[in-house]
Homo-oligomer: A and B are copies of this chain.
Amino acid sequence: MEAEESVAAMAALVAPVDREAGAEALRRHDRLVKPPGSLGRVEAIGVRLAAIAGACPPPVPRRPVVVIAAGDHGVLAQGVSPWPSEVTGAMIAAFCSGTAAVNAIAATVGAGVLVLDVGVASDLPVHPRLRHARVRPGTADLSKGPAMSRAEAAAAVLAGAAAAEDLIAGGADLLVTGDMGIGNSTPAACLIAAFTGKPAAEVTGRGTGIDDATLALKTKVVAHAIDLHRPDARDALGVLAAVGGLEHAALAGLILAGAAHRIPVVLDGVNAVAAALAAAVLRPEAVGYLLAGHRSVEPGASAALDHLGLEPLLDLQMRLGEGTGALLAVPIVIAAASVLRDMATFEEAGIG
Contact between A94 and B42, CB atoms less than 8 A apart: no
8 A Cβ contacts from A146-188 to B: none
Give the number of chain A interface residues (Cβ < 8 Å). Answer: 56
8 A Cβ contacts from A84-114 to B: 87, 90-91, 93-94, 97-101, 103-105, 107-109
A42 to chain B, nearest CB (A): 6
Contact between B35 and A320, CB atoms less than 8 A apart: yes
Contact between A320 and B39, CB atoms less than 8 A apart: yes
Do A42 and B108 contact each other (CB < 8 Å), given the known contacts A101-B343, A320-B35? no
Contact between A335 and B109, CB atoms less than 8 A apart: yes
Q: Which candidate, A137-145, A194-202, A224-232, A309-317, is the interface stretch facing chain B?
A: A309-317
A218 to chain B, nearest CB (A): 15
Contact between B40 and A108, CB atoms less than 8 A apart: no
**Neighbour of A37 across the interface among B40, B103, B105, B209, CB < 8 A:** B209
Residue ID in chain B nearest A342 by CB atoms? B104
A339 — which chain B residues lie within 8 A by C-beta? 101, 104-105
A348 to chain B, nearest CB (A): 7
Contact between A332 and B316, CB atoms less than 8 A apart: yes
Q: Per-residue 0/1 for A295-323: is the Cβ within 8 Å of any B Cβ (1 yes, 0 no)?
A: 00100000000000000011111111000
Residue ID in chain B nearest A107 by CB atoms? B338
A109 — which chain B residues lie within 8 A by C-beta? 331, 335
Do A33 and B94 contact each other (CB < 8 Å), given the known contacts A339-B104, A343-B104, A344-B100? yes
8 A Cβ contacts from A253-297 to B: 297
Chain A residues with CB under 8 Å of chain B are 32-42, 87, 90-91, 93-94, 97-101, 103-105, 107-109, 208-209, 297, 313-320, 324, 327-328, 330-332, 334-335, 338-339, 341-344, 348-351
Instruction: Kindly list 18 other residue pairs between chains A and B, CB separation below 8 angstroms, not including A91-B351, A94-B344, A104-B335.
Output: A34-B320, A35-B208, A38-B209, A39-B101, A40-B297, A40-B316, A40-B317, A41-B318, A42-B328, A87-B351, A100-B344, A101-B343, A104-B339, A104-B341, A108-B338, A314-B314, A328-B332, A331-B331
